[in-house]
Amino acid sequence: MLRLLLLSAICIFTAALPASSQTVTGPLGEEFTRRVVIKKLSDPWEITYGPDNFLWVTEAKGYTVSRVNPASGERTVILDLNQERKFPRYDQQDEEQSGGKRWPQGGLMGLALHPQLLNGKPYVYLAYIYTFEGADKTGDGCRDKEGGCYYTARLVRYTYNAKTQKLTKPLILSDTIPASNDHNSGRLAIAPVAGKDYLFLTVGDMGAGQYANGGRPNRAQSSSSYEGKVLRFNLEPIQTNGQNTWVPTDNPFAEAGRPSAIWSTGHRNAQGLAYAEVNGTGYLYSSEHGPFSDDEINIIQKGKNYGHPLVIGYNDGNYDGLAAGTTPHAFLPGTWQTTYPTISTEAANAKAMGAAYHDPIFSFHPHANAFLLAAMKQIRADSGKPDWPSEAPSSLAVYTAAAIPGWQNSLLVPSLKNGKLIRLQLNKQGNGITGDTLSYFRAPIRYRDIAVSPDGTRLYLSTDSVTVSSGPSEEDPQDENACSGCIIEFTYKPARNKAQIPKNP
């Protein structure tokens, strides 16, 4: 009886799907069919289109990994990490229960599949937060005087058992990755270096210098901290003196007897990371949240310094005399009352970094100094809540297929703030942006991640479950285009060229 009920429930669910499909049109007249694949996931954070033609999904708050059939929406949980998380669901507790403790930014975040997942290397890599320093303390569990909320993240490799549909045999690559209630990044990608594949993880600057972390030292420029970095690991351990070594010995900041996973420095909160070859050259592209301006697109390279918090966006001087953050707390250091250093001039800072300094290939909204000064003064004086045009890029994919005319070699960037997918056309070399910033699929939604089918005809976008951050794109559940905790499919509809329709003889 129960089985019958379940079966009929599934039938009703799948039968209901086609009714919700609709046509949406892009800025160049491209037509897509929009269809909701699955709803009410617990903050789907990473969606990856697997070689098995399933979507592999992490849920940031639900702490599960699933395989979702994109055609039917059927979901199979292959791993539950709730037992590994050593702090409760603060987001589900009221103030009295939690003492004001905060859910960390993200939670269960990145997932990457080994390129030979179905050919003898059934490995799945995951990044998730597992401890909170303040879990057993009263109050909010954060350090006094805005000293920060200290969490710790873990990078693990599981083995996928296709028979039982479970992830098994966890091996820890690192379990000392710093984390925070803010700016954890957490995106994983696999990319080759000199013909060999490696695992890359973005780690944010912890929000050190703003809000509850206003007095936490910012370590994005320190080569002895993993905060504000892109890290590189081996896909398989190397045995050294009977111990597993996951950190490549030729990483740029490794010293004798002191391995370092750091690949690049000077990052704020890089939530987008994807590799692709463009006209024969491979690039590791990244998107990154800026402070009051300057969301960045970068090409990540070995040993390079991406400037934060000393150069913001382009080395163009718009932050001269300013800082990457400010607080209303007079007890915190400097003109801007923050551990973020005051930027004398961006040019001098970039010069001091020398050849390692790398400008973004694109920066969204590089506001002028006067605009930034006014916003920062308002925050410092605690006199209202200024807003500034920005995108809040949550991820990044590279579109290399030929399926959609005019799209080949574009960067696709989901936006949290404005509920849209941004398309940026790469130049022929793949190392710059050409043409306009194009917006697709606008909705009162926080788009979290993107996956593209290998043939390029289908795009999948995941959406946050709740609006947690400030911004004008608060989800309105009354809006027909709102969708919480969803994966939405956009299928390209090839243009019907009338000239090609054969005439009757």
* Binding region for Ca ion (CB under 5 A): 306-307, 312-314, 316, 318, 449, 451
Spatial CA neighbour of 423 closest among 32, 60, 115:
32
Q: State the nearest-atom distance from the C-beta of 403 to Ca ion, in Å.
A: 18
For residue 12, the surrounding DSSP H or E stretch is helix 2-16
Nearer CB in complex with Ca ion: 237/321: 321
Q: What is the DSSP letter of 148?
A: B
For residue 97, the surrounding DSSP H or E stretch is helix 95-98
Location of structure tokens 């059939």: 69
Q: State the nearest-atom distance from the C-beta of 298 to Ca ion, in Å.
A: 6
Nearer CB in complex with Ca ion: 318/326: 318
Give the Å distances, CA to CA, from 494 to 22, 31, 33, 42, 53. Answer: 15, 7, 11, 34, 22
Across the beta sheet with 55-59, the strand order is: 44-49, 55-59, 64-68, 75-80
Nearer CB in complex with Ca ion: 87/362: 362
Across the beta sheet with 272-278, the strand order is: 272-278, 281-288, 295-299, 362-364
Q: State the nearest-atom distance from the C-beta of 480 to Ca ion, in Å.
A: 26
Nearer CB in complex with Ca ion: 269/473: 269
Q: State the nearest-atom distance from the C-beta of 294 to Ca ion, in Å.
A: 6
Nearer CB in complex with Ca ion: 318/337: 318
For residue 461, the surrounding DSSP H or E stretch is strand 458-463
Vertex 47 angle, CA 414 and 62, to 5°: 105
Spatial CA neighbour of 305 closest among 255, 340, 351:
351
Cite the DSSP H helix spans in 205-290.
none
Nearer CB in complex with Ca ion: 63/306: 306
| Bridge partners (DSSP) listed for residue 33 | 23, 491
Nearer CB in complex with Ca ion: 32/306: 306
